[in-house]
Structure 1
């Protein structure tokens, strides 16, 4: 399957209890489709290695609420097999411009991702279509002196829109953890909790607008928007000054 290298969308986030998440999954089942790449349980595991500068420029851009900001991460959608140098990962630049999320990403073997992001050079072999993103990654790393900083991992239960809601995606993230040591995606070190294990982060992702049936459900259930970054919250927890989650 040809990887999607660029896309734009906006995201809305909510913090739910396990019971609220269970109820919402039942409510949206009539409107959406289960993620086709999920395990038989409906879940899958995502681990992401985040890069930042020595003075945590990416962290502070988020905390300060800059309308234009971006960050670099290496992400893997885990399977039952152990992660190896040949495992396919995504190298992503996630950029926010005002309320719009833009992503540029490439799918390459883990060893090539480390060559690119840690050794700061192009892999020996790569798809020429990936070169623009690779060069942007290298420029960002050099400009900011980016270094491996933190890994997050969590279970994700996801749904995708039908033809009537093309581009719509809803995800439920649970068992959300982080670590600042042992920054190897292949490690089985689980790390510490970012939010309480009885809480779920709901994300609504849409290309243009959220359909009426979904906004109606959100209003009926009285969910309130939050502002949270897994990466920033992990650093806050590690430094023992967790910031209060901003609720709208």
Structure 2
């Protein structure tokens, strides 16, 4: 069974193509490729992010609080309605990331998210995560807000299986036609030469990795795919005077959300 509960630290780095090439060449000495990448250069991850009508979750996240959470529907490739996907809740508390997810058929996930009514438990589902998600849907009145997909190459440490490094490219998003089965397309989020590298580990990173990052002048940054897209959307709402109609600072100081009626 695929791992459904994660507790780890995640460090992010933005690198150019030349640096990406150097890094992956060096990583092969210590790490092996993800099973998905052994048969193809990249594998595609498609997500639907859920939020409130006033985008409370992403606004709160951009305020860098000690606790934040996100909810998304994730598929590997473009799924059909009868295929299994993951419904996930991702929390970050004082820098530690906790991700919990359960498998559902796509049509079951849509119904669960839309109604808040937990589906009848089936063998491929995680009952505990279903209960947690049911509680979430009672607190927040969530709806699909963003489609976000990217192509990934991933590595696992040969010695420490909890150490994982991923490289994401061709990140694309859209805020319309928010169905996973509708196809994989959208507006590019990063420049063609930019790659998002993530180091995911339950403990501190090993000395050899610190050395590789230092040699290549790769430094940690704060970056959220969903957050970057939201900020870009705000900038796209500039008026003729160059002022942002939707003021991010105003949102962050007036955090509100719409609870689901109980």
**TM-score with structure 2 length normalisation?**
0.86
> 128, 146, 158: which is aligned to 2:142?
146
User: Which structure's CA Rg is the greater one?
Assistant: 2
Unaligned runs of 5+ in 2: 238-247, 249-262
Aligned counterpart, 2:166 = 171
Q: Deviations over 1:8-57 (max 9, x none)?
A: 00001010111110111001111100101226233100011101112212
Aligned counterpart, 2:153 = 157
Q: What pairs up with 1:1-248 in 2 under 5 angstroms? A: 2-38=1-37, 40-78=39-77, 83-127=79-123, 130-162=126-158, 164-240=159-235
Q: What SS is found at the alignment partner of 1:227?
A: coil
Unaligned runs of 5+ in 1: 244-248
Aligned counterpart, 2:251 = none
Measured in 2, the distance between the counterparts of 1:212 and 1:23 equals 18
**Does the CA-based 8 Å contact 2:47-2:148 persist in structure 1?**
yes
Structure 1 pair 39/76, CA: closer, same or farther in 2 (3 Å)?
farther
What is the count of residue pairs matched by the alignment?
238
Measured in 2, the distance between the counterparts of 1:183 and 1:57 equals 19
Q: Deviations over 1:191-237 (max 9, x none)?
A: 11111122100000001110110000111111121111111111222
**Does the CA-based 8 Å contact 1:165-1:211 persist in structure 2?**
no
Measured in 1, the distance between the counterparts of 2:209 and 2:236 equals 35
Moved more, 3-12 or 121-130: 121-130
**Does the CA-based 8 Å contact 1:176-1:197 persist in structure 2?**
no
> RMSD value over aligned CA atoms?
1.8
Measured in 2, the distance between the counterparts of 1:97 and 1:216 equals 28
Greater strand share, structure number: 1
Q: What SS is found at the alignment partner of 1:223?
A: coil
Measured in 2, the distance between the counterparts of 1:39 and 1:122 equals 36
Aligned counterpart, 1:246 = none
Structure 1 pair 179/161, CA: closer, same or farther in 2 (3 Å)?
same
